[in-house]
Structure 1
């Protein structure tokens, strides 16, 4: 029997510091998130970050927390409920970090008699710290607890025609609500070394502005290339004018070089250049979360206005958009 496991990033169980600390510990100790030797990672995460960051992050989570719980988890459940109505195939939901866990999701499917699982990491673009870590952990759990299960997974869907249409339509609907001088596509950032580690050719990725536009087998696993392709595909679909949109990367951590241009500097720069009406969309996420609701919707909006901007609009993620749900159901039914 076939079944589907939708997997999203995850969230603390509550916005309280103790739950945030537990969540951050699981997240940051992942070797595909902070990819340094275990002892150094332990020293950095448990010795430094977890002694300072949980309280600050808890305050941020409290700003965006809903009565129903974490926005990301609530929206993911709504997505599952809508998609389930469009397909007879049993679907379970899991988070890479926090609850519900991948283990619990696979157990739920196993108890329904499922022995062939389609894994759908809810990330349009491939990255070590997102898609890869989900697939690796799911396989470890399968081998240990469900050895008779078979796995399949969908590849990064950044260039899937149906996905691009649903994303473009959702953006257009929101843009129709107001006048905007500029549309910024802000993607979650990753360290530059992650891009090079994911390069299957071991030589193509230079992160110099040209390699992403030169055809290569490396692009199948190149997050940077896939982000720029997402922007290009949506801009083409919407007929956006050159110079009226751009791409940036947010949420960097530490001192190592991350993908640029940085979103915070880009937004401040646009305001300083005279852009008064700015819309920001976050296509690395399919569900609104801390990075979209607080980092962009609150912090970036405040900074934009501090630097001379006037109207700042955060375009919601796809969340449980009807057309997006139909796209997932189509993948499942096919």
Structure 2
């Protein structure tokens, strides 16, 4: 029997500091998130970050928390339920960190008789700290608990025509009737070393402004290339003029080099450059979460307006849009019918 498991990043169980600390511990101790030796990682996370970050993060979560719970969990559950109504195979939901856990999601499907699973990481672009860590943990759990399960993985859909169409429609609808000077595509940041570690050619990714434009097998796993390609295709789809849009990266951690330009610096500098009406899309996220609702929707907005900006339009993630639900359902049906994912 076939089934599907949607997997998103995750969230604390509540806004209590203890729950936030537990979540951050699981998240940041992942060696594909902070990719240094265990002892150093433990010193950084347990000896430094977890001493101060849980309090401020808990306050940030309280600013965006819904009555139903974590926005990311609520929106992911809505997406799962809507897709389930459109397909005949069981559809489960799991988080890489927190609850419902990946093991819980696989077990629910297993108990329904599912032995062939389509794993769909809800990340358009590939990254070590997102897609890769999901697949590594899923395989570990399969070997330990579900040895008679078989996995098929949905590849990154950053350039899939269906996804580009849905993302473009979400941008167009959100900005309909609004005036804007510039559209910023803000993606989650990653350390530059993650890009180089994911380079299967071991030589192509130089992060020099040209390598992402030069065709290479490395692009299959290059987060930076895939972010810029998503932006390019949306811009083409919407007919955006050169110079009216740009790319930035948010949520850096530590002092190591991360992908640039940084979103906070970019947003703060816009008013002085004549950009008074700014629109921001966040295509690295399928579901709205702390990074989109608080970091962009609140912090970035405040910075932009304090620096002289006039209007700040945040474009919602595609969440549980009907066109996105239909796309996911069609992908699932194609796989269930043929075991082949079409593009």
Aligned-pair CA distance for 1:177: 3.7
Query: Which residue pairs with 2:274 in the alignment?
Result: 274
Note if 1:210 corresponds to 2:210: yes
Q: TM-score, normalised by structure 2?
A: 0.97
CA distance in 1, matches of 2:226, 2:275: 27
- Distance (Å, rounded) in 2 between the aligned partners of 1:254 and 1:273: 29
Match in the other structure for 1:296: 296
1:244 aligns with 2:244: yes
* Cα distance in 1 for residues equivalent to 2:60 and 2:207: 32
Q: Residue deviations 1:131-167, cap 9 Å, x none?
A: 0000000000010000000000011000000000000
Q: Any idea what SS the aligned residue of 2:97 has?
A: strand
Measure the CA separation in 2 of the matches of 1:71 and 1:136. 26
Q: 1:182 — aligned with what? A: 182
Deviation at 1:270, TM superposition (A): 1.1
Deviation at 1:271, TM superposition (A): 1.5
Deviation at 1:52, TM superposition (A): 0.7
SS at match of 2:212: helix
Q: In the alignment, what sits opposite 2:92? A: 92
1:13 alignment partner in structure 2: 13
Equivalent residues in 2 for 1:1-334 (5 A)? 1-334=1-334
Between the aligned partners of 1:233 and 1:269, the Cα distance in structure 2 is: 26
Shift of 1:318: 0.3
Where in structure 2 are there 5+ consecutive unaligned residues? 335-343
Determine the C-alpha separation between the residues in 1 that align with 2:140 and 2:271. Answer: 47
Aligned residues: 334
Alignment partners' CA distance in 2, 1:275 and 1:222? 31
Q: 1:2–1:89: 8 Å Cα contact kept in structure 2?
A: yes
| Inter-partner Cα distance in structure 2 for 1:283 and 1:177 | 22
Q: What is the distance in 1 between the residues matched to 2:327 and 2:247?
A: 25
Cα deviation for residue 268 of structure 1 reads 1.0
Task: Measure the CA separation in 1 of the matches of 2:325 and 2:104.
Answer: 23
Cα distance, 1:45 vs. partner? 0.4
Aligned equivalents of 1:170, 1:284: Cα separation in 2: 14
Distance 1:138 1:157 in 2: 19
Stretches of 4+ aligned residues off by more than 6 angstroms? none
Contact 1:186 1:247 in 2 (8 A): yes
Which consecutive residues of structure 1, in runs of 5 or more, have no partner in the other structure?
none
Q: Conserved in 2, the CA contact under 8 Å of 1:115 and 1:148? A: yes
SS at match of 1:261: coil
- Alpha carbons 1:274, 1:308 under 8 Å: kept: no
Q: Measure how far apart 1:228 and its partner are.
A: 0.1
